[in-house]
Amino acid sequence: MGVSAMKLMPSEVARRLLRLAAGAAILISTLWATATAQSPRLASTPPMGWNSWNHFSEEVTESDVRATADAIVASGMRDAGYIYVNIDDSWEGQRDAQGNIHPNGKFPDMKALADYVHLKGLKFGIYSSPGPKTCAGYEGSYGHEEQDANTYAQWGVDYLKYDLCSYESIMKLWDPSQDPQKASAMMQQAYEKMHQALVNTHRPIVYSLCQYGIDSVWKWGPKVGGDLWRTTDDISDTYRSMALIGFSQAGLEKYAGPGHWNDPDMLEVGNGGMKPDEYRTQMSLWAMLAAPLLAGNDLSKMDDTTKSILLNRDVIAVDQDRLGIQGTRVGPPQIWMKPLSGGAKAVAIFNYVLDDQANPITVQLDEFGFSGPVHARDLWAHKDLGTLHGSYTVIVPKGGVVMLRLWE
Ligand code: GLA
Q: Pick the residue whose CA is nearest to atom 3 on ligand 1.
A: 234
- Other C-beta atoms closer than 10 Å to the C-beta of 328 total 17
Residue 356 pLDDT level (bands cut at 50, 70, 90): low
pLDDT band at 346; cut points 50, 70, 90:
very high
Mutating to test ligand 1, I would choose from 50, 52, 53 the residue with most ligand atoms within 8 A of its C-beta, which is 53
CA separation (Å) from 94 to 59, 105, 381?
Answer: 18, 10, 51
Handedness of CA 149, 151, 157, 160 (dihedral sign): negative
Residue nearest to atom 11 of ligand 1 (CA): 135
For a mutational test of ligand 1's pocket, the pick from 54, 59, 89, 235, i.e. the residue with the most ligand atoms closer than 8 A to its C-beta, is 89
Higher pLDDT: 20 or 322? It is 322
Residues in CB range of 108: below 8 A, 6 or more apart: 62
SS (H, E, C) 184-235: HHHHHHHHHHHHHHHHHCCCCCEEEEECCCCCCHHHHCHHHCCCEEECCCCC
Q: Where are the alpha helices (DSSP H) in 229-303?
A: 239-247, 276-288
- In this structure, are strands 345-350 and 359-364 parallel, antiparallel, or unpaired? unpaired
Residue 1's SS3 state is: coil
Residue 344 has pLDDT above 70, yes or no: yes
Which atom from ligand 1 is nearest to the alpha carbon of 212? 8
pLDDT digits (tens, 9 = 90+) for 279-338: 999 999 999 999 999 999 999 999 999 999 999 999 999 999 999 999 999 988 899 999
pLDDT given for residue 333 in this prediction: 84
Backbone angles phi, psi at 33, to 5 degrees: -60, -40
For residue 127, how far is its CA from the centre of ligand 1 (angstroms)?
9
Q: What is the pLDDT of residue 23?
A: 46
Higher-confidence residue of 173 and 15: namely 173
Confidence of residue 355 (pLDDT cuts 50, 70, 90): low
Q: Identify the pLDDT of residue 331.
A: 86
Best substitution site from 230, 234, 245 to test ligand 1's pocket, by max atoms within 8 Å of Cβ?
Answer: 234
User: First vs last Cα of the chain: how many Å apart?
Assistant: 73
Which residue is closest in CA terms to ligand 1's atom 9? 234
CA atoms within 13 A on the CB side of 408: 10
Strands 328-331 and 293-295, sheet pairing = unpaired
pLDDT of residue 178: 77
What are residue 387's DSSP bridge partners?
Answer: 375
**CA pair distance 202, 84, nearest whole angstrom:** 19
Mean of all residue pLDDT scores within the chain? 91
pLDDT over 60 at 150, yes or no: yes
pLDDT 10s digits, 191-225: 999 999 999 999 999 999 999 999 999 999 999 99
Dihedral sign from CA coordinates of 369, 372, 377, 380: positive
Q: What is the DSSP letter of 272?
A: S
If one counts every other C-beta atom within 10 angstroms of the C-beta of residue 381, the result is: 12
Confidence of residue 2 (pLDDT cuts 50, 70, 90): very low
pLDDT at site 335: 96
Cβ neighbours, 10 Å, residue 276: 17
Q: Whose CA is nearest to atom 1 of ligand 1?
A: 135
Task: Please check the confidence at residue 268 and state whether its pLDDT lies above 90.
Answer: yes
Ligand 1 center to 234 CA (angstroms): 7
Residues identified as active-site: 163, 234
User: Where does ligand 1 bind, in terms of residues with CB under 6 Å?
Assistant: 53, 88-89, 134-136, 163, 210, 234
Using the mean position of ligand 1's atoms as its centre, give its distance from the Cα of residue 211 in Å.
9
CA dist 229 and 256 (Å) reads 10
Q: Which has the closest alpha carbon to 259: 94, 14, 31, 45? A: 45
Nearest atom of ligand 1 to the alpha carbon of 127: 10
The Å distance, Cα 253 to ligand 1 centre, comes to 24
| Residue 264 CA neighbour count, 13 Å, CB half | 25
Say which residue, 393 or 353, is predicted with more confidence.
393
> How many angstroms separate the alpha carbon of residue 197 from the centre of ligand 1?
22
H/E stretch holding 363: strand 359-364
Calpha distance 117→73 (Å, rounded): 10
Nearest CA to ligand 1 atom 5: 135
| Mean pLDDT for the stretch of residues 340-344 | 98
Atom 6 in ligand 1: residue holding the nearest Cα: 89
pLDDT at position 13 is: 47
CA of 61 to the centre of ligand 1 (A): 17
Per-residue model confidence (pLDDT) at position 39: 47
| Residue 41 pLDDT grade (very low, low, confident, very high; cuts 50, 70, 90) | confident
Q: How many C-beta atoms surround the C-beta of residue 216 within 10 A?
A: 12
d(CA 248, CA 7): 73
